[in-house]
Structure 1
Amino acid sequence: MVAMMSRRQLRRAAGLGGLLLLAAAVYLPAEEAAEDHTALSRTLYQQATTAQSFEQLNRVIAEVDALRGRVTNPQLVRYLTSLEAWVLHRRGEAYVKQAAEANAAGQSAMGRQLDGKAMEDFDAAVKLDPQRWKSYHHRGVCYALAGDFPRALSDFTKTIELRPEYESAWFNRGEIHYEMGAYAQAIADYDEAIRLQPQDAGFFNSRGHAYSQLRQFDKALEDYNRAVELDPGNPQRITNRGDAYRSLGHWEQAANDYRQAVNLDRRFGRAFQSAAWLMSTCPDEQFRHPQLALRAANKAVELDGAQDYIYLDTLAAAFANSGQFDKAQNVIRRAIQLAPAENAQPLRHRLALYQSGKPFRQSVDAADKRVADRAAANR
């Protein structure tokens, strides 16, 4: 089991943080197929289509399962099996909705428990009806949220096999490839999702992140530009584009994007963090502003970065840029403690600079690495 996947990294729909769980109609047994069945089977069908509460769903599932165990007519058995799978899927979606509400209320333990119940229902649905593609997809969502990426990958692949035109399965499989570090494979999946749904800003945004990880910043910039065109009022998209501009040494365009993002949302910490980094470390002096950088860096930490090593790294750079090297050293040491081992070496290099009384100045290459790290941390 790998680390749990953040819900913000997953597609969101109808209250579910994460992978797209659209409420589009799933396969129902055709009503005409029930015409020769018993009156009870027709009654259960009607109850299944109108059930809303857990009590109603539970009762229908129990009654369908009991009837399925009594009948011998093969056609009726197939009908009831498909019906039971569908109602199990519906109950799973109801658990998913409750899990999202619990997580939004800060009840993460309850959310995990409800996600587990949803997974059990989707699992039961595909065992009863192996062609139920949306149950595979939703089970993949649950696996992803639990951090079981290999099983999530398998379920999304199965969904694509059964329903290749379902763009969300391609996108979600791309997200799992991304989380597993398979960026080229992620891009291939995002390509197909975009082909199927070219108006989704999130698809372009995620592909831009994957290109950033591969240091293909020109392509990343193209995708971030398209994401901003499709979703122009989104400060996260604009900040992503600003980071790509910065990685290419386009300082003025980066500064403009950060300014726009801050103006759109004064509570969006990453826009302040990115602006502070540019104003603290830009090799072009005209874009360095020591006092503004300090204010922006402190604002970012105040909003959401107290435990984020990149935010603390930015605050340390702002202190160093203003000549406060003792404070810079103290903050960068905290950042080193919080940083993943593979990302700590650049921070140690900056600590050595601050110990020698020198501020950090980024090169375009350094910006490249930084942007990729930020893309990975803010999906």
Structure 2
Amino acid sequence: MAPHVRASRVLQFGTFEVDLRAGDLRKSGARIRLQEQPFQILTMLLEKPGEVITREELQQKLWPADTFVDFDDGLNTAIKKLRDTLGDSADSPRFIETLPRRGYRFIYPVNGARAPADVQVLPMTWWRRRWAAGLLALTALLAAALLSNVGGLRDRITGRTGVGPIDSVAVLPCKNLTGDPEQDFLADGLTDVLTTHLAQVKSLIVPSVTSSMYFKGERKKLSEIARELSVEAMVEPSVQRSGDRLLVNVQLIHAQTDRHLWAKSYEVEPKNVQALLPAVAAEILEAMNVQVTPEEKSRLSRSRETTPEANEAYLRGNYHFRKGTDADRAKAHEYFEKAIEKDPNFALAYANLAVLRAHGGFFRAGAGPLEDRTQTREWAQKAVELDDTLAEPHAALAWIAMMDWNWIGAEQEFRRAIELNPNLPVARTWYAQFLSCMRRFEESLAQAEIARRLDPVSPDTSVHSAEPYLDAGRVDEAIESYRKVLELEPNYHIAHHSLARAYIEKGMYQQAIEELEKAMALGGRDSLSLGVLAHAYGKAGRRQEALKLVSELLHRPNGEHVPPWRPLAIAYSGLGDKDKAFAVLETAYERRRGALFELNSQPLYAPLRADPRFQDLVRRIGLPLSGTSPPTP
């Protein structure tokens, strides 16, 4: 066993010198910057040169049980940083040797001590006697290694990853290693922006940040996460403090083989993180051998710098936007407006504010007043004016055009949004809904399936992706999708609401009533749920209960800032009161509100469709009549 070297606090190996007491590392007299954890690992190795320092020892010393950080990732990252600093290699180590599944060993002589017996350099006389045979053997081994690509040797020499072009990748939630939970928004924002940059490449499938965030804090194996997201590779980012700067670490891993294809660390000022990420995305794409068009390269290289205050407000806005509750949507709105206040030319803030306000949420889609629609259009147009490569404002403009019954304009904007970012789930789900309104159900289902593939674990996307199946009359498939969502998220009230509408189509009125009661218990007594519940009561023959809900709709305070024409029309449809249903729909038509764009696809309006008044209203709105060709751009 090699002697311990604790007696000396200044240790030397090669051209390096370490002062354990001062925490300094120098090379040829010049001080080298090394972070705390890699330095502590180096200290443990130097104090026992030639001995194996086990992974368990390192974990107990540097990652105690109460540390909420993935140990394997943390250790691998720290060892890589240490080797990079020393100019060492895992495959041909000079200083630090890896013993698979056991630990690490320092193999270079420390303070002039003799190298351990099992790694000693052989005497020159031995080398002279055997040089010819050794050289021939080495040549043969090297040729065999290159031929079989042992340890990826051939790939490293040729600069290839060895796995061929990768066509799907997910960005895992960025790990916040700053020690400050208040910086979660920064880590989540890094995940979001990096995902957005990669998603702009048409030849690449990139699951949405919503699906990636589902695995935040999960301890699953990478291969399991990759299987759930249906991707070949994973990007693992982390961010930590380095003095008054940030250290952003990014690694690319081939999911099936758990092989690290690429890794790099970037030290930047906090205000420059946003500007750094396009270059990071470009390096990741190069490492994956992805085909990137000149137009895509141009978009990736475009600078989107802003002020630190505006960037923080924008990232906080996204953080709340993803949560999806009404309260969080309101906070997101405040933060996006604050970002614009800090930087009036911040295109991304205008874009996300437009998307946030365009749809209005599941229960208020298309229900907002005209002045809100005008404001949202202005935000989207401003975003396009500032940066015409952003997909989000085009999706917002498409939805607004749809509410304005501008069907040709809506489809043009949807197609432009998808062209700019083919991996944007909201563009796919909104376009699917548009296509259902046009009664182009096969196209609608195709878009829904793409959205589901891009956002496989998001309950919101899963529910919206099932809607076209319900519209197309494939009710059993819609029910199966809603039930799958509820298996994972039993308290997701929107899924209960959607399942209830599917049960109505199956004539399962009692089950529909039970699901709607669950939805309202979880999400509140919103007007749309009351209208659908009244519809179910009417179809079930429970007329008095239905009329009681209609009365509640007519007399309730207008807390949703919009008259309940849509819910009332749905309620009267279920009650069979066509005159009142058409009276409400005519009022909505005159005011150009009430989500009339769904008139042609919403199954709850089916009892009205045989009435000539229905066909007349559909014609005036410009929707295709059943069996006729829809307008095309």
TM-score by length of 2: 0.37
Residue in 2 that maps onto 1:306: 525
Residue in 2 that maps onto 1:185: 409
1:272 to 489, 492, 496: 496
The structure with higher relative contact order (CA 8 Å, sep 6+) is 1
Q: Note the C-alpha offset of 1:299.
A: 0.7
Contact preservation (8 Å) 1:247, 1:371: no
1:154 aligns with 2:371: no
Residue in 2 that maps onto 1:239: 463
Q: Note the C-alpha offset of 1:266.
A: 1.0
1:319 aligns with 2:556: no
Provide Cα deviations, 1:23-53, integer angstroms capped at 9, x if missing partner. 789xxxxxxxxxxxxxxxxxxxxxxx7366x
Residue in 1 that maps onto 2:452: 228
DSSP-derived class of the 2:193 partner:
coil
Change (3 A) 1:222 1:109: closer
One-letter identity of the residue aligned with 2:386: T
One-letter identity of the residue aligned with 2:602: K
Change (3 A) 1:333 1:223: farther
Q: How does 1:105-120 map to 2 (within 5 A)?
A: 106=327, 114-120=335-341
Residue in 2 that maps onto 1:368: 601
Contact preservation (8 Å) 1:333, 1:351: no
Contact preservation (8 Å) 2:534, 2:571: no
Q: Note the C-alpha offset of 1:86.
A: 8.3
Structure 1 range deviating more: 343-352 or 147-156: 343-352
Distance in 2, Cα, partners of 1:86 & 1:193: 19
Change (3 A) 1:333 1:299: same
One-letter identity of the residue aligned with 1:369: Q
Contact preservation (8 Å) 2:336, 2:353: yes
Contact preservation (8 Å) 2:496, 2:516: yes
Q: How does 1:349-368 map to 2 (within 5 A)?
A: 349-351=573-575, 353=577, 368=601
Contact preservation (8 Å) 2:535, 2:575: no
Residue in 1 that maps onto 2:193: 22
One-letter identity of the residue aligned with 1:154: Q
One-letter identity of the residue aligned with 1:326: Q
1:259 aligns with 2:483: yes
Distance in 2, Cα, partners of 1:107 & 1:260: 25
1:211 aligns with 2:435: yes
Provide Cα deviations, 1:199-255, integer angstroms capped at 9, x if missing partner. 333331121122234443332222112212333333333333433222222232233
DSSP-derived class of the 1:368 partner:
coil
Provide Cα deviations, 1:305-330, integer angstroms capped at 9, x if missing partner. 412x2211222233344443221221
1:291 aligns with 2:518: no
Change (3 A) 1:190 1:150: closer
Distance in 2, Cα, partners of 1:108 & 1:369: 26
DSSP-derived class of the 2:602 partner:
helix
DSSP-derived class of the 2:457 partner:
coil
Change (3 A) 1:367 1:237: farther
Q: Note the C-alpha offset of 1:366.
A: 6.9
Contact preservation (8 Å) 2:493, 2:520: yes
Contact preservation (8 Å) 2:428, 2:448: yes
Q: Note the C-alpha offset of 1:300.
A: 1.3
1:334 to 552, 557, 562: 552
Distance in 1, Cα, partners of 2:498 & 2:328: 31
DSSP-derived class of the 1:22 partner:
helix
Q: Note the C-alpha offset of 1:298.
A: 0.9
Contact preservation (8 Å) 1:246, 1:367: no
Contact preservation (8 Å) 2:317, 2:333: yes
Distance in 2, Cα, partners of 1:245 & 1:171: 22
Provide Cα deviations, 1:261-282, integer angstroms capped at 9, x if missing partner. 32232112222222222323x2
One-letter identity of the residue aligned with 2:347: Y
Provide Cα deviations, 1:76-97, integer angstroms capped at 9, x if missing partner. xxxxxxxxx9875332112234
Contact preservation (8 Å) 2:313, 2:339: yes
Distance in 2, Cα, partners of 1:191 & 1:156: 17
Contact preservation (8 Å) 2:531, 2:570: no
Residue in 2 that maps onto 1:72: none
Distance in 2, Cα, partners of 1:271 & 1:114: 28
Change (3 A) 1:264 1:179: farther
Q: Note the C-alpha offset of 1:367.
A: 7.5
Provide Cα deviations, 1:329-350, integer angstroms capped at 9, x if missing partner. 2123334556533663443344
Contact preservation (8 Å) 2:532, 2:567: no
Change (3 A) 1:175 1:21: farther
Change (3 A) 1:51 1:304: closer
1:198 aligns with 2:422: yes
One-letter identity of the residue aligned with 2:384: T
Q: Which has the higher helix share?
A: 1
One-letter identity of the residue aligned with 2:515: A
1:92 aligns with 2:310: yes
Change (3 A) 1:371 1:171: farther
Change (3 A) 1:242 1:136: closer
Distance in 1, Cα, partners of 2:331 & 2:473: 46
Which runs of 5 or more residues in structure 2 are unaligned? 1-173, 175-183, 198-267, 272-302, 358-371, 557-562, 579-597, 606-633
One-letter identity of the residue aligned with 1:303: L
Contact preservation (8 Å) 1:91, 1:121: yes
TM-score by length of 1: 0.58
Contact preservation (8 Å) 2:355, 2:395: no
1:136 to 339, 347, 357: 347
Distance in 1, Cα, partners of 2:305 & 2:451: 37
Q: Note the C-alpha offset of 1:160.
A: 4.3
Change (3 A) 1:321 1:227: same
Q: Which runs of 4+ in 1 moved over 6 A?
A: 101-105, 107-111
Q: Which has the higher strand share?
A: 2
Distance in 1, Cα, partners of 2:330 & 2:516: 33
Contact preservation (8 Å) 2:570, 2:604: no
Change (3 A) 1:208 1:91: same
